[in-house]
């Protein structure tokens, strides 16, 4: 598996790079060798200096633990695959479809209340069930991701998303609210197979200089789905009294999303592969090389929670994303209170928030790939999120919708633009632990805070008005900004990517070059 000739050419003429293992095969034979977290190799290797290296604390898919099982593979070649953009775009699309189904009820909350004859709180739970389902299912799904790999998880997530969309078509009568709840719960389970994948797909398929951009594209789909979920339902489902006509308009929306979900499921079957033939980066090559199926799954979780920087990021990410979830769920209610009859514009304000956030996410991803300033960028974006939230709070009740559009857009640029930043910063802080696990824990935090904030802010709005409800969120965003300042920028993945043999001076002889990775490991013992 290891290429002994660093200068060997691939058949297409691309120079192959030195093996991740150099000439020290003993690293494969001794998975328990103690190593520093910044250079531990597999996504589950020790993230704590005092712990022993377990090259895979999670049971890895056979394709990663035994590279030959997925076909010929040479870990000495670092090369990106042409398929990588197709994979991330297909993922982004079915993530978009799932996110649309999350917000499609909340964006026309009052219309579904009247159609099904239920309370606003019951409709809010159609959004909050996404958050509630994620919490208990994270660990089982993260284990499945490590056990069976990206393709299986992608197929499962897109299949459940498709199934949930079709189930909702059986709820087109006012007395069938439980059926629409069932369809939404199925979609919420699909979300568990989706939210933790962006950073994993980026790491497995993309090179070191494009991984943050790829993660932003993957998250982009989810945000686009939320944007469409704010824009389309108010247009397709007008606020009319006739129940039969209303059911007809709702059925059009449900049929469209079911058809799109089915098409995307077929595309996942065709396009999605487990991993490329060659590792796309130095860090990923090392990750493959030291993979072991024998290490403990729970030990990875323990190591992650011993990582103080990551624990702080879990809290701060949850506060930010939770505030976004609460705002998205309650936006229709807040706008209607101040601007009665403006359901369509309420959806457009939500669209503005998310579109601005997608732009912020893409800019952040490109910026990170160029500068690698994870801590500084995250802190600035968090502070600007707080500023945007304060301005939005003060201008919501001024009576001018155009002002709300501007302030909401400015807030969204930073608030939703922060989401991929959190994913990528987490991977940097926890490398070489599993990207799926670190992303999953961030999302659990977001769901927990999302439920707490949605219920609390909803009650505050009902009893005291929108401004106290938004001030409630501002207080927690302030706490998040302060905690973000205490996170230390321990960029472990960047260290692994920089410490490559090709960075050695050209006059060094071949034996020194091939042994460079071993020296990198030994200096951190």
pLDDT at 12: 40
DSSP 88-127: HHHHHHHHHHHHHHHHTTGGGHHHHHHHHT--HHHHHHHH
3-state secondary structure 414-461: HHCCHHHHHHHHHHHHHCCECHHHHHHHHHHHHHHHHHHHHHHHHHHH
pLDDT tens, position by position, 330-351: 888 888 888 887 878 888 888 8
The 10s digit of each residue's pLDDT in 53-95 is 333 333 333 333 343 334 445 556 677 677 788 888 999 999 9
Cis peptide before 98 (omega within 30 of 0): no
Looking at residue 372, what is its pLDDT? 79
- Which H helix or E strand runs over 321? helix 308-338
Report d(CA 409, CA 398) in Å as an integer.
16
What pLDDT, on a 0 to 100 scale, did the predictor assign at position 178? Answer: 94
Distance CA 119, CA 113 (A): 6
The CA-based angle 146-152-153, given to 5 degrees, is 70
Please give the average pLDDT of every successive group of 10 residues along the chain, which has 525 residues.
39 40 39 36 36 37 38 58 84 92 87 89 88 86 81 92 94 92 94 84 80 78 85 88 90 94 94 77 63 59 86 92 88 86 82 85 80 85 92 88 90 84 83 75 88 90 89 93 88 69 40 37 37
Q: Which of 197, 195, 189, 227 is CA-nearest to residue 88?
A: 197
Ranges of CATH 1.20.1250.20 domains, the chain? 81-281, 296-498
341: left (phi over 0), alpha (psi -120 to 50) or beta: left
Select from 218, 137, 163, 212 the least CA-distant residue to 371: 212
pLDDT in the model for residue 296: 55
The pTM assigned to this predicted structure is 0.64
Q: Cα separation of 324 and 333, whole Å? A: 15
Q: Which two tokens stand for residue 89?
A: 């775009």
Superfamily classification of domain 81-281:
MFS general substrate transporter like domains (1.20.1250.20)
Domain 296-498: which CATH class?
mainly alpha
In which residue are the tokens 């990875």 written? 300
Q: Rounded distance, CA 471 to CA 490, Å? A: 33
Contact by Cβ (8 Å): 216, 357: no
Q: How far apart are CA 441 and CA 423, in angstroms?
A: 10
Q: What is the DSSP string of 349-405?
A: HHHHHHHHHHHHHHHHHHHHHHH--HHHHHHHHHHHHHHHHHHHHHHTTSS-HHHHH
What 402-405 contacts at long range (C-beta under 8 Å, 24+ apart), as own/partner pairs, is: 404/335, 404/349, 405/348, 405/349, 405/352
Residue/partner pairs of 305-308 with CB below 8 Å, 24 or more apart: 306/47, 306/48, 306/51, 307/37, 307/47, 307/48, 307/429, 307/430
């Amino acid at each position: 598996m290891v290429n002994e000739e660093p200068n060997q050419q691939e058949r297409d003429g691309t120079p192959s790079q030195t093996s991740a293992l150099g000439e020290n095969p003993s690293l494969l034979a001794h998975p328990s060798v103690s190593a520093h977290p910044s250079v531990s190799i597999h996504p589950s290797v020790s993230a704590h200096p005092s712990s022993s290296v377990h090259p895979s604390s999670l049971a890895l898919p056979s394709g990663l633990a035994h590279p030959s099982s997925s076909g010929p593979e040479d870990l000495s070649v670092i090369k990106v695959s042409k398929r990588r953009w197709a994979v991330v775009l297909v993922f982004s699309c079915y993530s978009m479809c799932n996110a649309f189904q999350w917000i499609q009820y909340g964006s026309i909350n009052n219309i579904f209340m009247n159609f099904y004859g239920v309370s606003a709180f019951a409709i809010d739970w159609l959004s909050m069930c996404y958050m509630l389902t994620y919490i208990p299912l994270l660990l089982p799904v993260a284990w499945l991701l490590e056990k069976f790999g990206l393709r299986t998880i992608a197929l499962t997530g897109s299949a459940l998303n498709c199934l949930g969309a079709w189930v909702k078509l059986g709820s087109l009568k006012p007395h069938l609210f439980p059926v629409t709840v069932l369809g939404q719960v199925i979609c919420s389970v699909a979300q568990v197979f989706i939210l933790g994948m962006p950073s994993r797909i980026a790491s497995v398929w993309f090179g070191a200089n494009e991984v943050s951009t790829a993660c932003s594209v993957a998250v982009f789909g989810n945000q686009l789905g939320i944007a469409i979920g704010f824009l389309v339902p108010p247009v397709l489902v007008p606020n009319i009294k006739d129940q039969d006509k209303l059911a007809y308009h709702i059925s059009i929306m449900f049929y469209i999303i079911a058809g799109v979900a089915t098409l995307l499921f077929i595309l996942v079957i065709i396009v999605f592969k487990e991993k490329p033939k060659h590792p796309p980066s130095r860090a990923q090559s090392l990750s493959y090389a030291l993979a072991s199926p024998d290490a403990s799954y729970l030990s990875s979780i323990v190591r992650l929670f011993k990582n103080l920087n990551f624990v702080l990021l879990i809290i701060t990410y949850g506060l930010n994303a939770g505030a976004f979830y609460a705002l998205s769920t309650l936006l229709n209610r807040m706008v209607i209170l101040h601007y009665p009859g403006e359901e369509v514009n309420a959806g457009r304000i939500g669209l503005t928030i998310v579109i601005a956030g997608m732009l912020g996410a893409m800019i952040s991803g490109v910026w990170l790939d160029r500068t690698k300033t994870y801590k500084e960028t995250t802190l600035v974006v968090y502070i600007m999120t707080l500023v945007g939230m304060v301005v939005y709070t003060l201008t919501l009740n001024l009576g001018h919708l155009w002002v709300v559009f501007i302030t909401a857009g400015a807030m969204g640029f930073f608030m939703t633009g922060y989401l991929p930043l959190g994913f990528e910063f987490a991977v940097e802080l926890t490398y070489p632990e599993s990207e799926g696990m670190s992303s999953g824990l961030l999302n659990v935090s977001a769901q927990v805070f999302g439920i707490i904030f949605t219920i609390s802010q909803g009650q505050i709005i009902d009893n005291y008005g929108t401004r106290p409800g938004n001030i409630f969120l501002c207080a927690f965003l302030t706490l998040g900004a302060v905690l973000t300042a205490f996170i230390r920028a321990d960029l472990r993945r960047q260290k692994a990517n920089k410490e490559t043999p090709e960075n050695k001076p050209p006059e060094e002889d071949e034996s020194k070059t091939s042994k460079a990775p071993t020296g990198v490991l030994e200096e951190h013992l």
